[in-house]
Amino acid sequence: MSFELSELKFEHIKIDKVEEGNYVVISINRPERLNALQTKTLKEIADAFESMELDKSVRCVVLRGTKDFVKKPAFSAGADLSSRRNPDVDPKNLMDMSQAMHLRQKYYDSIEKFPKPIIAAVDGFALGGGFELVLVCDVVIASKRSTFGFPEIKRGIAPFNGGTQRLIRTLGKMRTKTMMYFGEHYSA
């Protein structure tokens, strides 16, 4: 499936193409929810990346949270827990839950496989699924007020979008274990 970026309509992200620099800025645009991620948000991001894959005028993509934050700055505060009540997914049905997790994982994987450089521009929170989104990027540039972590660990939930495996490749085994065992957050 291939489509032009200009053909796509997005609700959760904004796209700005910078012609003179040959790059695109994708901004997660849910400031009232600290850019929390719904499955729809991840699908929009993955669709945007797919549309740019063969576009020779795009040489790099910057992924960021919106500049228009309402509460606090955030790249993404992670999963949108208010959207957990998806009518298509029965939380008591393991098949439904497994399929929903598989779909989210597919979006992270497709973003990670994007053949051009992805720069995560992080300002504020990059937590949970937001941190996992940072980990699929090639380069991370973070402001001093940025915080990275998996808060779900303290709720007894393991990151399930490939974050632990990507974190080991990025930080190494020892630092990853410390983060996973104690749920610690790290500042930029």
pLDDT of residue 1: 44
Assign domain 5-187 to a CATH class.
alpha beta
Digit-by-digit pLDDT tens for the chain (188 residues) are: 444 555 678 999 999 999 898 999 999 999 999 999 999 999 999 999 999 998 999 999 999 999 887 778 999 999 887 765 565 677 777 887 778 788 888 999 999 999 999 999 999 999 999 999 999 999 999 999 999 999 888 888 877 777 778 888 888 888 888 888 888 787 87
Give CA–CA dist 7/28, Å, rounded: 18
With beta carbons less than 8 A apart as the criterion, state whether 13 and 24 touch.
no
Residue with tokens 């973003």: 111
What residues are annotated to the active site?
Answer: 132, 152
- Answer yes or no: pTM beyond 0.85: yes
37: closest CA among 72, 73, 67, 79?
79
125: closest CA among 67, 61, 72?
72
Question: 30 exposed, middle or buried (CB, 10 Å; 0-12, 13-18, 19+)?
Answer: buried
Domains in the chain: boundaries? 5-187
pLDDT of residue 163: 77
78: closest CA among 132, 127, 136?
127
Which are the contacts of 47, defined by CB distance < 8 A and separation ≥ 6? 3, 8
pLDDT of residue 2: 44
77: closest CA among 109, 124, 15?
124
Specify the amino acid at residue 87.
Answer: P
45: closest CA among 124, 134, 138, 157?
134
pLDDT of residue 92: 77
pLDDT of residue 86: 61
